[in-house]
Copies of this chain bind each other. A is one copy, B any other.
Amino acid sequence: MYTVKEVAKKMEVCEHTIRFWAKSGFFPFVKRNSNNIRQFEESDLEWVRIVKCLRGVGIDNKSIKKYIELCIKGDSTIKERYDIIKKTREKAQKQMKELKKQFELLDFKENYYNELIKNNSKDTWNPMNKI
């Protein structure tokens, strides 16, 4: 059993965000104790994990809500859920490619600046100089 704060720490998500997601209906099975405090079970953490994953790939909250509702509906929605996950996986793959490109640009620039520093060079002769 975890409180919001503990979930936030365990899942590395801001506490406020967990509450915001909870209010958005992303964790429909979380129970409360007699003091109205949310008690996340291990199975609820699975929902947090998926939501974090979908958000991390840039799925918007409205679409996440749709997915959550399909989950609640049960077995009849498995094909639909499969399609969503498949598309999301493809999106993630594209992002990995994009991120890799950006990483390579940063890598290049780091080396470039490093050379300049090592050689105590000015930067003014080179078309790359400005940025």
Contact = CB atoms under 8 A, between A and B. Distances in A.
A16 B123 CA distance: 32
Contacts of A63: none
B102 A53 contact: yes
Contacts of A105: 49-50, 53
A10 interface: no
A21 to B, nearest CB: 13
Given A46-B130, A82-B113, A88-B106, A96 B93 contact: no
Given A75-B124, A79-B117, A47 B102 contact: no
A110 B85 contact: yes
Contacts of A5: none
A75 B113 CA distance: 10
A86 interface: yes
Interface of A: 29, 43, 46-47, 49-50, 53, 56-57, 68, 71, 74-75, 78-79, 81-82, 85-86, 88-89, 92-93, 95-96, 98-100, 102-103, 105-107, 109-110, 113-114, 116-117, 122-124, 127-128, 130-131
